[in-house]
Amino acid sequence: MAYLICSPIMDKEPIIFILVCWMVFCLYKFIQEILKDIKESKLILKSTYPKLIKEVLYYCAPIYKDHQIKYYPLHQISYYPSKKRLGYYDPSLKKLVIHINSHDGGESAKLKQIVHTTLHEIKHHIQHQTNPDFKNYEYYSKKLSYQKNPFEIDSNAFADKHTDDCIKYLKERGILE
């Protein structure tokens, strides 16, 4: 009978091979994610800010329809920077105002913030039109704080959820590159 003698080195070769393969795979995925971030983060406005805001409103058309809202809110762009806010929704006028020059960072970061802010304020319009409790917005802000106001939490979640998809839509429409 012949016995196959395995040395400890031979037992380690498959393990080393698997570890090396795993490390190469992880490195590949890491580089792939970095390249994806670099590619996605470069946004260029190929239009005007008013057109950008209007197209974000159009992106929300199916959402308005789902909530049986017939009219877009009025909207205004302010080029004066605000120290307090990036934008706001005025329920008495059913109007959202975006402070373009309150957003900072490089062009890509600024454009992404503007889209996020616009979506956030659009959600306030939807809340105003669909939730009777929205009349208590100021009460919640005073009692709980701005950050813990349930309408703010909901608006931020809405904007977070839709920003990337909206940017994709804006690229398809030729508003962003």
Per-residue pLDDT, 41: 61
Q: Which residues contact 58 (CB under 8 A, 6 or more apart)?
A: none
CA distance readout (Å), 109 to 13, 49, 167:
48, 15, 12
Per-residue pLDDT, 34: 72
SS3 75: strand
- Is 4 a residue whose pLDDT tops 80? no
Strands (E), 17-172: 74-78, 87-90, 95-99
Residue pLDDT, tens place only, 31-88:
877 766 565 568 999 999 999 999 999 999 999 999 999 999 999 999 999 999 999 9
Q: What percent of the chain has pLDDT over 70?
A: 90
Residue pLDDT, tens place only, 98-120:
999 999 888 999 999 999 999 99
pTM above 0.85, yes or no: no
Question: Apex CA 52: angle with CA 35 and CA 65, to 5°?
Answer: 105
Mean pLDDT over each residue of the chain, to the nearest integer = 90
Average pLDDT over residues 11-33: 81
